């Protein structure tokens, strides 16, 4: 059942550049001592699935189905950020500006929100939807939270289909417009594909062809989760 995928073709040759860790994040990592990590991992070791794919590939839709069929808690990084963005604060405004530009919010903000959400849940299995979006995100999560994902799902969808879906989403999102979508697709290719390649090389990636109906795609996902014993 477990398909081990080889390397996907590297999208860019400059992934090293993307690995640079900003000084502010280095400091957070320095203080991510074992005591802090133990917050999450001391009493339990939750089963963690990262759910990746470009904008409109169907991550949120499939996560909702997986959550209800297999008892996972669904944490959408984008939803957590949008909630924080609605606060009338400096941080809220920073997040809004970054999302509007289709860029990636600093890792320490996103990892903190995910950590809080995991800690306030009693679930033993989590879907982390739309994260990590860059190698820097991935390294921050693994350093600060202190665990690696058990499984990484990648919804592989042609750009044309993703654009069509996002433009039809109709949820009033500030980033669901053609200008921002173009930027998000570039960011996905430049920063997210290296993360996908990383987990592929580690044998943790499960790639799903995300074309077809929601039911057809869920059938493939159901097959995978049905074979797991988390
Ligand atoms: N397989 C599918 N076929 C057609 N439309 C879909 C499919 N899966 C999701 N959608 C629709 O496409 C839009 C984007 O889906 P969503 O799950 O929000 O994607 P993502 O979280 O990856 O951005 C939504 O309006 C959703 O209803
Ligand atoms: O870990 C994350 C998740 C999301 N975002 C930002 O939030 C936006 C929307 O993310 P979401 O996952 O909701 O979009 P989707 O891919 O589902 O359309 C992204 O384009 C980014 O600007 C981010 O910076 N870090
Ligand atoms: Mg989504």
Where are the extended beta strands (E) located within the chain? 47-53, 73-76, 125-129, 151-156, 205-209
**127 and 109 in contact (C-beta within 8 Å)?**
no
Q: What is the mean pLDDT of the segment spanning 197-222?
A: 98
Output the ligand 2 site: residues, CB below 6 A.
55-56, 59-60, 77-78, 81, 98-99, 102-105, 110, 130-131, 133, 137, 175, 184
CATH code, 48-226: 3.40.50.300
Nearest residue by C-alpha to atom 8 in ligand 1: 58
Rounded Cα–Cα distance for residues 149 and 163 (Å): 28
Cα angle for residues 110, 112, 114 (degrees, 5° grid)? 70
Q: Quote the ligand 1 centre to 55 CA distance (angstroms).
A: 9
Q: Quote the ligand 1 centre to 62 CA distance (angstroms).
A: 8
Which of 164, 167, 151, 171 is closest to 210 using CA atoms?
164
Task: State pLDDT tens for residues 39-61.
Answer: 666 667 899 999 999 999 999 99
130 known member of a binding site:
yes
Rounded Cα–Cα distance for residues 181 and 174 (Å): 10
Nearest residue by C-alpha to atom 10 in ligand 2: 78
222 known member of a binding site:
no
Q: Quote the ligand 2 centre to 130 CA distance (angstroms).
A: 6
Task: State pLDDT tens for residues 153-175.
Answer: 999 999 999 999 999 999 999 99
Q: Quote the ligand 2 centre to 77 CA distance (angstroms).
A: 7
Task: State pLDDT tens for residues 71-128.
Answer: 999 999 999 999 999 998 999 999 999 999 999 999 999 999 999 999 999 999 999 9
Nearest residue by C-alpha to atom 17 in ligand 2: 55
Rounded Cα–Cα distance for residues 208 and 66 (Å): 14
204 known member of a binding site:
no
% of the chain beyond a pLDDT of 90: 77
Ligand 2 mutation pick, 52, 85, 133, max ligand atoms within 8 A of CB: 133
């Amino acid at each position: 059942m477990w398909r081990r995928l080889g390397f996907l073709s590297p999208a860019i040759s400059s992934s090293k550049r993307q690995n640079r860790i900003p000084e502010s994040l280095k400091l957070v990592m320095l203080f991510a001592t074992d005591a802090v990590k133990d917050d999450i991992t001391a009493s339990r070791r939750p089963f963690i699935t990262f759910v990746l794919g470009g904008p409109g590939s169907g991550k949120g839709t499939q996560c909702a189905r997986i959550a209800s069929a297999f008892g996972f808690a669904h944490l959408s990084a984008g939803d957590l950020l949008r909630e924080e963005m609605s606060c009338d604060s400096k941080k809220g405004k920073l997040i809004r500006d970054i999302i509007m530009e289709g860029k990636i919010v600093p890792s320490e903000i996103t990892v903190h929100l995910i950590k809080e959400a995991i800690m306030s849940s009693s679930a033993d299995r989590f879907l982390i939807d739309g994260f990590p979006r860059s190698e820097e995100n991935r390294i921050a999560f693994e350093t600060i939270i202190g665990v690696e994902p058990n499984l990484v799902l990648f919804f592989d969808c042609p750009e044309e289909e993703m654009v069509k879906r996002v433009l039809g989403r109709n949820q009033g999102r500030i980033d669901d417009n053609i200008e921002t979508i173009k930027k998000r697709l570039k960011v996905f290719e430049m920063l997210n594909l290296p993360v996908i390649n990383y987990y592929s090389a580690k044998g943790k990636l499960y790639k799903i062809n995300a074309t077809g109906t929601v039911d057809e795609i869920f059938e493939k996902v159901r097959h995978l989760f049905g074979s797991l014993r988390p």
